């Protein structure tokens, strides 16, 4: 948004975080009930925010240049949403002109959450928030949010752990993002090496299952390999600090290793690489992801690879209701436990 300052100087404000209250949430729920089942994907910045404020117009509804998934229902649903939300107020909290926080990469995310306190000063964010743990056996050098630690836990420097539950001892290295992971069975220590991103997603296949995505925080998930006749495309991509070809068993056809995008085009990138095995439990999904970290290869034999998912496919098949249910169970567990204030 561009606005005038002192009637002459222009200043540009960029969006960052957005919040809405219960009344607006009910307004969105009303729209959902009118349209259920939704036949396309809508998002906050691209769809919810554009109808807000006095100067909103419906022009954005037909602009699909920055939309990753478009189908025949998308533009019409956008237009309906515009008319449903039109007239809703829109307010901006303006920070100092010199303040800009960019959290677009994993290292930026970890820096602003763990190392630099400027973002926390503006937002009231705390590095230890709503966790159940024993302060005498909890060694936190990073940031923990809405999580349960029932045994000894060591969180490394510049690491973020959110919406997780660990029953057995856990050691998490430095520079990690660990999200929605769980290990509820008795067993040896869980060790998560440094510089990893781990995120568990409930997915709907023939039955409810879980997938834990894992990447090195410096993996370029957007980089696309160039397909060449007679060459191994996977050698061009790096996964977990090594060539992707070292993670798969034998020579695998690109059409088997990589998924297509929403337009049906084959995409040879880590985001579209079928590397992650759905499991019956969050524990098993986490163990499967850590086995990849420890060098286990992905078997693309027919009996093994029928349900391997890429990150893009896992996101498309995500079960939001199950994820929310898991978060609520964590909330109940934390509320009923003996929560101590962390230093």
Q: What is the pLDDT of residues 111-159, one digit of tens each?
A: 999 998 888 888 888 888 999 988 888 998 999 999 999 999 999 999 9
Question: What's the rounded Cα separation, in Å, for the pair 134 and 341?
Answer: 10
Task: Give the pLDDT score at 230.
Answer: 60
pLDDT bracket for residue 95 (50, 70, 90): low
Predicted confidence (pLDDT) at residue 266 exceeds the cutoff of 90: no
DSSP 79-141: HHHHHHHTT-----PPPPTT------SHHHHHIIIII--HHHHHH---SEES-B--GGGEEES
Question: What's the rounded Cα separation, in Å, for the pair 43 and 134?
Answer: 38
Each residue of 278-323: pLDDT tens digit?
999 999 999 999 999 999 999 887 655 568 999 999 999 999 999 9
Task: Give the pLDDT score at 277.
Answer: 94
Over residues 74-99, the mean pLDDT reads 84
Task: Give the pLDDT score at 339.
Answer: 40
Task: Give the pLDDT score at 66.
Answer: 78
Q: Which residue has the higher pLDDT, 251 or 186?
A: 251
Predicted confidence (pLDDT) at residue 2 exceeds the cutoff of 60: no
Counting every residue written for the chain, the total comes to: 343
Predicted confidence (pLDDT) at residue 165 exceeds the cutoff of 90: yes
Quickly tell me which residue has 């970890």 as its tokens: 110
Question: What's the rounded Cα separation, in Å, for the pair 308 and 289?
Answer: 12
Predicted confidence (pLDDT) at residue 342 exceeds the cutoff of 60: no
Question: What's the rounded Cα separation, in Å, for the pair 266 and 248?
Answer: 18
Task: Give the pLDDT score at 16.
Answer: 65
57: burial class by Cβ within 10 Å (0-12, 13-18, 19+)? Answer: exposed
Question: What's the rounded Cα separation, in Å, for the pair 127 and 113?
Answer: 7
pTM exceeding the 0.85 threshold for the entire prediction: no
H helices of the chain, in order, are 22-35, 74-85, 106-110, 118-123, 254-257, 282-293, 302-305, 311-316, 320-336
pLDDT bracket for residue 97 (50, 70, 90): low
SS3 186: coil
Beta bridge partners of 211: 201
SS3 38: coil
SS3 152: coil
Each residue of 27-60: pLDDT tens digit?
999 999 999 988 888 888 888 888 998 889 999 9
> Smallest Cα–Cα separation from 323: which of 209, 158, 220, 206?
209
Task: Give the pLDDT score at 255.
Answer: 86
Supply 265's token pair.
Answer: 């085009």
Predicted confidence (pLDDT) at residue 343 exceeds the cutoff of 60: no
Predicted confidence (pLDDT) at residue 204 exceeds the cutoff of 90: yes
The percent of residues above 90 in pLDDT, for the chain, comes to: 55
Over residues 55-68, the mean pLDDT reads 86
Predicted confidence (pLDDT) at residue 76 exceeds the cutoff of 70: yes
C-alpha separations of 234 from 102, 176, 229, 262 in Å? 31, 25, 13, 21
Task: Give the pLDDT score at 82.
Answer: 94
Compute and round to an integer the Cα radius of gyration of the chain: 22
């Amino acid at each position: 948004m561009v606005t005038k300052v002192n009637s002459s100087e222009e200043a540009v404000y960029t969006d960052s975080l957005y919040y809405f209250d219960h009344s607006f949430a009910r307004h969105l729920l009303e729209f959902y009930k009118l349209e259920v089942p939704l036949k396309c994907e809508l998002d906050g910045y691209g769809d919810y925010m554009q109808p807000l404020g006095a100067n909103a117009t419906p022009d954005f509804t037909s602009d699909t240049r920055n939309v990753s998934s478009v189908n025949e229902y998308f533009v019409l649903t956008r237009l309906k949403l515009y008319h449903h939300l039109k007239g809703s107020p829109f307010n901006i909290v303006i920070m100092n002109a010199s303040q800009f926080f960019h959290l677009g990469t994993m290292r930026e995310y970890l820096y602003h959450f763990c190392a630099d306190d400027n973002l926390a000063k503006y937002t009231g964010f705390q590095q230890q928030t709503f966790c159940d743990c024993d302060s005498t056996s909890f060694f936190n050098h990073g940031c923990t949010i809405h999580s349960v630690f029932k045994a000894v836990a060591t969180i490394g420097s510049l690491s973020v752990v959110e919406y997780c539950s660990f029953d057995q001892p856990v050691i998490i290295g430095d520079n990690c993002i660990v999200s929605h992971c769980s290990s509820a069975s008795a067993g040896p220590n869980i060790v998560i090496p440094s510089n990893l991103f781990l995120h568990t997603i409930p997915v709907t296949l023939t039955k409810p299952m879980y997938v834990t995505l894992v990447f090195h925080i410096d993996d370029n998930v957007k980089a696309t390999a160039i397909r060449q006749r007679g060459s191994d495309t996977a050698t061009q991509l790096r996964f977990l600090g090594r060539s992707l070809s070292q993670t798969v068993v034998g020579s695998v056809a690109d059409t088997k290793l990589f998924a297509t995008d929403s337009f049906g085009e084959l995409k040879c990138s880590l985001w579209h690489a079928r590397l992650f095995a759905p499991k019956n439990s969050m524990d098993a999904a986490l163990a499967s992801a850590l086995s990849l970290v420890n060098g286990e290869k992905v078997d693309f034999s027919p009996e093994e690879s029928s349900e391997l998912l890429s990150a893009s496919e896992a996101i498309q098949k995500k079960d939001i209701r199950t994820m929310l249910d898991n978060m609520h169970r964590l909330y109940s567990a934390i509320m009923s436990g003996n929560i101590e204030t962390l230093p």
